[in-house]
Amino acid sequence: MEHSLFKGFVSRVLRLSHIHMDIILVALAHVDQMKLSRVLEYGPGTHERVFIGALILATKVCIPSLVSPRRNVLTDHL
């Protein structure tokens, strides 16, 4: 039951937000990495929060102009 609710949530977010495919692919890579690291404590809404967080991070990675030009925390450590 929970899987179908999450699938519906993801479908609605993607359909209503019109997110570009490259952002979706980066977000899915982030979600996959989180699943492999096993640092999550699963509770109510965990999957939804991880998905939304991954979309936000992917958007910042794919569209660098959304990050402050003075201090880019995504590339400072490279």
Give a yes or no: residue 76 inside a domain: no
pLDDT band at residue 69 using 50, 70 and 90 as cut-offs: low
Q: What is the pLDDT of residue 1?
A: 43
User: Residue 70: inside a domain, yes or no?
Assistant: no
pLDDT at residue 28, rounded to an integer: 83
Contact in structure between 74 and 67 (CB atoms under 8 Å): yes
- Condensed to tens digits (0 to 9), the pLDDT of residues 5-60 reads 888 888 888 889 888 888 888 888 888 777 777 766 677 777 788 888 889 888 88
Look up residue 33 and give its amino acid: Q
Residue 73 lies in a domain: no
Instruction: Please tell me the pTM assigned to this model.
Output: 0.66
What angle in degrees, to the nearest 10, is found between the helix axes of 46-62 and 2-17?
30
Mean pLDDT on 50-76? 71
7: containing domain: 2-65
- 39 occurs within a structural domain: yes
Total tally of structural domains belonging to the chain? 1
